[in-house]
């Protein structure tokens, strides 16, 4: 057994890049000022926040006034979904959002909350078994009564990439605004907001080798979202609260590095992912790839295995030194099958045996080969135990 962990869970979070840590460090100690203070310490911190905002804006291809720093992507998603609902209510207008059944809970749960409190309504756009938006059908559902369409760019659980720029093109002549949760995409996909055609975009720096505890929101027209918190005038009042300067500086650096490397990293990881997928499907009986085989995140391989309990599989892999995920909020003591996989039509048996393997900077061909052998062995043993 391995003593060190081989980390294959990069969709959950990533280790911080040393270059990101290096630019953050002075803002914890030497330049600790509050950006809202008038003195030099404050102004030094304010300059750092301002430079970070400008850097994020130039990468996303927008003005600095459209970039907001929050505490996480969950907050950014909530700010868009609730913020727009409040604006609509205050204007005496109806709020109807369209989303897909395979969004992250930080999109689906706010919409459910809005609907259950009578503050608006939402419905699902159809996706195929791979979780991809059905092009012919979604167009008919986006009527002029729809206020917002929210679609994940790269799905966290099954890796499918959605055609956001095509949706953006379609929505250009519609009243509906477009939000994309691009949390899983920053390491692999160019995030130019005009090319994507989005009005809102959410990012989470800890998914691209940056710090936890900070989120990014792009809002083309910030006036369209009513702030969820009231307080000071930080972030133009859209998100009041003292700036977390080191995390904001780190978020901008991490985005710069991720977007600069996205093509090379995609080219490096895609063949490793494909080899993993090919060998799992060839060597393990009764298993299926989940998500789209072609349009999928380059680091993402996800499967379902018949007659396997995800929790037992993850625990066994962990004992062998491999950190993977089931792809859902499936935790020990919560043996529920993945809601997303059930929504896509998988049986309970298959949805209970999900495995997500997400590669990253530390992943090499050698790692994949060793992992494959362990996986085959572990699945065989777990199935034998079941049969005994």
Ligand X SMILES: Cc1ncc(COP(=O)(O)O)c(C=O)c1O
* Residues at the site binding ligand X, with contacts judged by CB under 6 A: 72-74, 104, 106, 152, 156, 181, 183-184, 204, 215
Q: Are strands 177-181 and 200-203 parallel, antiparallel or unpaired?
A: parallel
Q: How far apart are CA 360 and CA 364, in angstroms?
A: 9
CB-count burial class (<10 Å; 0-12, 13-18, 19+) for 231? exposed
Name the strands in the sheet holding 287-289, side by side, starting at the edge strand that comes first in the sequence. 287-289, 300-305, 354-358
**In terms of CB distance, is 45 or 130 closer to ligand X?**
130
**In terms of CB distance, is 45 or 84 closer to ligand X?**
84
Q: How far apart are CA 192 and CA 72, in angstroms?
A: 20
Non-local CB neighbours of 155 within 8 Å, separated by 6+ positions: 102, 131, 161, 162, 184, 291, 297
Q: How far apart are CA 247 and CA 178, in angstroms?
A: 27
Q: How far apart are CA 220 and CA 201, in angstroms?
A: 9
Q: How far apart are CA 100 and CA 126, in angstroms?
A: 7
Instruction: Give least dist CB 179 to ligand X, A.
Output: 11
**In terms of CB distance, is 88 or 262 closer to ligand X?**
262
Of these residues, 62, 287, 324, 330, which one is catalytic?
330
**In terms of CB distance, is 114 or 186 closer to ligand X?**
186
Residue 334 is given by DSSP the state -
54, two tokens: 């400008």
Instruction: Give least dist CB 71 to ligand X, A.
Output: 8
Instruction: Give least dist CB 243 to ligand X, A.
Output: 17
Can 330 be counted among the known catalytic residues? yes
Q: Are strands 6-7 and 322-323 parallel, antiparallel or unpaired?
A: parallel
Instruction: Give least dist CB 72 to ligand X, A.
Output: 3
**In terms of CB distance, is 324 or 379 closer to ligand X?**
324
Instruction: Give least dist CB 233 to ligand X, A.
Output: 24
Instruction: Give least dist CB 158 to ligand X, A.
Output: 11
H or E, element range at 69: strand 67-70
**In terms of CB distance, is 107 or 382 closer to ligand X?**
107
- Kindly report each contact of residues 138-144 with a partner whose C-beta sits within 8 Å and lies 24 or more positions away, as own/partner: 138/98, 138/167, 139/170, 141/98, 142/98, 142/170, 142/171, 142/174, 142/176, 144/174, 144/175
The residues annotated with a catalytic role in the active site are 330
């Amino acid at each position: 057994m391995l003593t060190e962990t081989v980390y294959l869970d990069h969709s959950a979070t990533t280790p911080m890049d040393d270059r990101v840590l290096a630019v953050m460090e002075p803002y914890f100690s030497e330049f600790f000022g509050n950006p809202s203070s008038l003195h030099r310490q404050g102004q030094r911190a304010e300059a750092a926040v301002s430079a970070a905002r400008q850097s994020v804006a130039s990468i996303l291809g927008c003005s600095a006034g459209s970039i907001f720093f929050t505490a996480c992507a969950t907050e950014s998603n909530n700010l868009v979904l609730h913020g727009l609902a409040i604006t609509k209510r205050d204007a005496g207008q109806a709020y109807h959002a369209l989303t897909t059944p395979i969004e992250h809970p930080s999109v689906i749960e706010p919409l459910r909350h809005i609907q259950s409190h009578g503050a608006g309504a939402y419905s699902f756009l159809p996706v195929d078994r791979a979780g991809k938006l059905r092009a012919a059908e979604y167009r008919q559902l986006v009527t002029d009564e729809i206020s917002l369409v929210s679609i994940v760019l790269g799905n966290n659980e099954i890796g499918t990439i959605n055609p956001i720029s095509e949706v953006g093109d379609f929505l250009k002549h519609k009243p509906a605004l477009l939000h994309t949760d691009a949390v899983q995409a920053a390491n692999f996909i160019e995030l130019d907001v005009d090319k994507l055609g989005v009005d809102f975009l959410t990012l989470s720096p800890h998914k691209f080798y940056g710090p936890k505890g900070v989120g990014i929101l792009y809002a083309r027209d910030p006036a369209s979202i009513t702030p969820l918190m009231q307080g000071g005038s930080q972030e133009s009042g859209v998100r009041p609260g003292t700036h977390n300067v080191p995390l904001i500086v780190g978020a901008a650096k991490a985005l710069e590095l991720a977007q600069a490397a996205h093509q090379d990293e995609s080219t490096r990881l895609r063949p490793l992912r494909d080899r993993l997928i090919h060998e799992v499907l060839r060597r393990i009986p009764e298993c299926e790839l989940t998500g789209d085989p072609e349009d999928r995140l380059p680091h993402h391989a996800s499967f379902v295995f018949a007659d396997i309990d995800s929790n037992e599989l993850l625990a066994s892999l962990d004992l062998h030194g491999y950190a993977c995920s089931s792809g859902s909020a499936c935790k020990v003591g919560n043996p529920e099958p993945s809601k997303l996989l059930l929504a896509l039509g998988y049986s309970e048996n298959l949805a209970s045996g999900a495995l997500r393997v997400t590669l990253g900077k530390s992943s090499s061909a050698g790692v994949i080969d060793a992992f494959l052998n362990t996986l085959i062995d572990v699945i065989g043993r777990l199935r034998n135990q079941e049969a005994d």
